[in-house]
């Protein structure tokens, strides 16, 4: 199909892409962030808006990324340059690839710290170090874990080492081989957790909390957070999905595989909610305790339940596995770029990147102890990395991708790559041209503070309507319809 580049690496197995991309998207975002955000933004209404964002923005942009990756066959920088040139556009669009690569690197710099928490909690739950008699007691354990830079640094360094070793082993021998057993393992552990939650006595309350759509609870801030999270959870605009798409064989359908990944990601987030909230409710705790939800409230809840100790180990193991399969995808783009464009052997590239990563992540790690006072504009390094990536770079990158795929690349090129049935392709194009970019713009402006707290989410409904009108008018003018 695409004549512009020869693939160097391809997934070996039929499920290679789906497993690796699901491994990328299912991560701390699903098991740590999604539950606590749902708790903070009021449950079902937030879940519904999040699902809408996944459908209206996440999935279309994800398809575009995989299509661009496969057609351009390379790291984000090279792939985007190739597809842009193929369409007669400026090679400068590769700047989008640079931003994505940087974004993946920056996310990983703070992600290894949270992943480090997960591994250290796995260790604590195995060695009996997670005992307290109140949430405050659990919070003290959490604080103590953070306070010692040597301790915290040890765990994040461990995650960095594991990540770089897998990536250094290559696309098939490292990434594909590891996700082939880690992903089924993860699903199995999640299933155990849910069965356990069913017998916890809080299941009905948990289901109710997640799926009772109370619109009164919905706020503008909740809508915007849902949109940002849709990007984060699907690993968009960070080079991960695009690069994995570059390894997708021609014979596999982009829309089917991508949709499978997005559905799996969403299911895991919901299932994580179903595993966590019942346990929280069964112990009479509050769901809105924020980022500490799974590190403070949850261990305390487990401690009060039969078999809780075993399930706790399973939970933190699951968290560590989910984090690792995401971590490798964040840095693959950079390693692939060094390898392909600069001829640096993969293993050496991985260790080189690993050293730089370790330095930056150490700064992020120090935000919790020695560097707690190193703040600029009210944020320390950890918060800056999180803020810059999920609130600014991801929306901006997603916007760029939507504009590129919707307006600038050739319509036929996209149609060939995606392989969607005609009506669905028309729908995809409509969404990626009008709905996704405008919705992203709203989030982006909010992140910059222009919309302030007074944003009324109902304005978002105007976005698809405006898109339909514009599309209808332009179709009439250009005779686009018969194409
Ligand atoms: N999707 C991952 C998660 O939910 C995070 C991620 C972001 C992974 C960007 C890769 C790239 O945890």
What number is the average pLDDT over the span 116-128? 95
Q: What percent of the chain has pLDDT over 90?
A: 66
pLDDT, position 117:
95
Q: How many CA atoms lie within 13 A of 172 on its CB side?
A: 9
* Ligand 1 close to Cβ of residue 235 (< 6 A): yes
Query: In 36-166, where do the E strands start and end?
Result: none
CA 480 / ligand 1 centre spacing (Å): 37
Alpha carbon of residue 291 to chain centroid: 16
Between the alpha carbon of residue 80 and those of residues 23, 89, 171, 252, 397, the distances in Å are: 24, 10, 20, 21, 12
Q: Binning pLDDT at 50, 70 and 90, where does residue 60 land?
A: very high
> Which tokens in the block code for residue 274?
């179903």
- Residue range 129-170, pLDDT digits in tens: 899 988 889 999 999 999 999 999 999 999 999 999 999 999
Rounded Cα distance, 465 and 80, in Å: 30
Tokens 């619109």 found at: 215
> Which tokens in the block code for residue 156?
């994040």
What string of DSSP letters covers 328-368? Answer: HHHHHHHHHHHHHHH---HHHHHHHHHHHHHHHHHHHHHTT
pLDDT, position 2:
47
What number is the average pLDDT over the span 293-307? 88
Residue 323, pLDDT above cutoff 80: yes
CA 393 / ligand 1 centre spacing (Å): 14
pLDDT, position 479:
53
Residue 483, pLDDT above cutoff 60: no
Q: What is the domain partition of the chain in residue ranges? A: 14-475
Pocket test for ligand 1, best of 233, 264, 398 (most atoms within 8 A of CB): 233
What number is the average pLDDT over the span 293-309? 88
SS percent in the chain: helix, strand, coil, step 5: 80, 0, 20
Helix, strand, or coil (residue 43)? coil
Q: Binning pLDDT at 50, 70 and 90, where does residue 285 land?
A: confident
CA 431 / ligand 1 centre spacing (Å): 23
Rounded Cα distance, 119 and 138, in Å: 16
Pocket test for ligand 1, best of 21, 28, 29 (most atoms within 8 A of CB): 29
Residue 475, pLDDT above cutoff 80: no
pLDDT, position 474:
66
Tokens 């992020």 found at: 364
Q: Binning pLDDT at 50, 70 and 90, where does residue 6 land?
A: low
pLDDT, position 480:
46
The correct answer on CATH 1.20.1740.10 for the domain covering 14-475 is yes
CA 33 / ligand 1 centre spacing (Å): 11
């Amino acid at each position: 199909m695409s004549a512009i580049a020869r693939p160097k690496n391809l997934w070996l197995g039929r499920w290679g892409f789906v497993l690796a991309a699901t491994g990328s998207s299912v991560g701390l975002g699903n098991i740590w962030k999604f539950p606590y955000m749902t708790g903070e933004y009021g449950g079902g209404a937030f879940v519904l808006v999040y699902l809408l964002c996944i459908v209206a923005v996440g999935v279309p942009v994800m398809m575009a990324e995989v299509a661009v990756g496969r057609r351009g066959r390379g790291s984000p920088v090279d792939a985007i340059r190739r597809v842009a040139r193929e369409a007669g556009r400026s090679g400068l669009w590769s700047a989008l690839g640079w931003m994505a690569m940087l974004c993946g690197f920056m996310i990983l710099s703070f992600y290894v710290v949270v992943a480090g928490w997960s591994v250290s909690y796995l260790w604590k739950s195995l060695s009996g170090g997670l005992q307290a008699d109140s949430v405050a007691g659990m919070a003290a354990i959490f604080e103590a874990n953070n306070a010692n830079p040597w301790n915290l640094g040890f765990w994040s360094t461990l995650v960095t080492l594991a990540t770089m070793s897998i990536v250094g082993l290559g696309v098939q021998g490292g990434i594909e081989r590891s996700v082939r057993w880690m992903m089924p393992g993860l699903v199995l552990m999640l299933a155990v957790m849910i069965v356990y939650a069913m017998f916890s006595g809080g299941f009905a309350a948990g289901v109710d909390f997640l799926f009772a759509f109370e619109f009164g609870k919905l706020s503008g801030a909740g809508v915007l957070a849902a949109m940002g999270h849709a990007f984060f959870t699907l690993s968009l605009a960070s080079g991960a999905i695009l690069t994995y798409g570059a390894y997708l064989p021609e014979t596999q359908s982009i829309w089917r595989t991508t949709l499978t990944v997005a559905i799996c990601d969403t299911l895991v987030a919901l299932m994580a909610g179903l595993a966590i909230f019942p346990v929280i409710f069964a112990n009479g705790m509050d769901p809105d305790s924020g980022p500490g939800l799974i590190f403070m409230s949850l261990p305390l809840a487990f401690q009060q339940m039969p078999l809780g100790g075993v399930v706790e180990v399973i939970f933190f193991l699951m968290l560590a596995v989910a984090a690792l399969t995401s971590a490798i995808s964040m840095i693959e783009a950079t390693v692939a770029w060094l390898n392909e464009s600069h001829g640096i052997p993969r293993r050496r590239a991985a260790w080189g990147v690993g050293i730089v990563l370790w330095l930056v992540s150490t700064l992020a790690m120090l935000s919790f102890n020695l560097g707690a006072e190193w703040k600029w504009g009210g944020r320390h390094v950890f918060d800056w990395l999180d803020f810059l990536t999920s609130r600014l770079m991801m929306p901006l990158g997603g916007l760029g991708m939507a504009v590129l795929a919707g307006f600038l690349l050739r319509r036929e090129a996209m149609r060939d790559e995606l392989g969607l049935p005609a009506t669905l392709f028309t729908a995809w194009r409509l969404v990626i041209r009008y709905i996704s970019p405008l919705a992203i713009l709203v989030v982006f402006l909010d992140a910059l503070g222009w919309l302030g707290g007074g944003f009324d989410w109902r304005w978002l409904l105007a976005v698809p309507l405006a898109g339909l009108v514009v599309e209808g008018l332009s179709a009439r003018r250009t005779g686009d319809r018969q194409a």
